Structure 1
Amino acid sequence: MKIVTHEVNNIRIAEVISDECIVNTTDEALQLLVDLYYQEFDKVILYAQNLHPDFFDLKTKMAGEILQKFSNYRVQLAIVGDFDQYPGKSLRDFIYECNKGKAVNFVPTLTLALD
């Protein structure tokens, strides 16, 4: 796993890069969040392929639990990926609602995540 630091308008953003799944459980997500939080990152960028597939199955409640933790720590999260590969109206609605706010955004590119 590699952390790339971006700074946009004096805001520190951590881009988490890995060739493997790094968030398999809610506890792993929390540990990553806490590690980045204490490194004074204000925002985090994760890639969809680094999240366990259960994250995108809303019945598991994994997404809700992880996003709640980011919200509690007041760390904004952008998830980059192609979300059309995940079926289900519920997930599309969930992504749409998240993207209406500022806490969590699902975006197709790193450039949009940095914006």
Structure 2
Amino acid sequence: MPDEIQERAGVQVLVCDPAGPPVATEQDALDLVGAAFLGAQVVAVPASRLDERFFSLGTRFAGDVMQKFVNYRLRLAVVGDISGQLAESSALRALVYESNQGGHIWFVPDLDALDDRLHAAR
């Protein structure tokens, strides 16, 4: 399945294909932002597509990627199991916790959980 805009919980979401290209550079993140400008308000990126540097906060890659979405007023949902990365990093656990308290960046286990978050955010 290619990346596609779907209506989920009444919100237009760019649902990214798990088999799509990795998000390994800031330009890759900007490419997703550009694709979302076709009508999406949220970009749902499978955690498996994010370069491992995203989960190693010392690289600052996660911050750079997340800032792109905030700058363009798009919500980002990282979708998938990141329990392995969370077990290795208290800083990442703190980032995920704080992000999930807000309205711009969410870490969710699956698309059903994203739908729940979208319903709650209305």
Q: Fold conserved (TM > 0.5)?
A: yes
- Looking at structure 2, the residues matched to 85 and 54 of structure 1 have their Cα atoms a distance apart, in angstroms, of 14
Q: Any idea what SS the aligned residue of 2:106 has?
A: strand
TM-score, normalised via structure 2 length: 0.86
Instruction: State the 1:99 CA deviation.
Output: 0.3
Normalising by structure 1, we get a TM-score of 0.90
Q: 1:59 aligns to what?
A: 58
SS at match of 1:22: coil
The 3-state SS of whatever aligns with 1:23 is coil
Q: How far did 1:10 drift? A: 4.2
Gaps of 5+ in 1: none
Which AA in structure 1 matches 2:108? V
Write out the 4+ residue segments of structure 1 that deviate beyond 4 Å after TM superposition: none
Residue type of the alignment partner of 1:76: R
Residue 32 (str. 1) matches residue 6 (str. 2): no
Report percent identity of matched pairs.
Answer: 33
Q: Show the counterpart of 1:97.
A: 98
Deviations 1:58-92 (A, max 9, x none): 00000001101100111111111112111110000
Moved more, 25-34 or 95-104: 25-34
Q: How many residues align?
A: 114
Separation (CA, whole Å) in 2 of partners of 1:47 and 1:12: 17
C-alpha displacement of 1:26: 1.2
Is residue 2:27 matched to residue 1:16? Answer: no
Q: Is the 8 A contact 1:21 1:49 kept in 2?
A: no
Residue of structure 1 in register with 2:113 after alignment? 112
Cα offset, 1:12, TM superposition: 1.0
Q: CA distance change for structure 1 residues 5 and 70 in 2, over 3 Å: closer, same or farther?
A: same
Q: Which residue of 2 aligns with 1:80?
A: 79
- Which structure has the highest strand share of the two? 1
Match of 2:68 in 1: 69
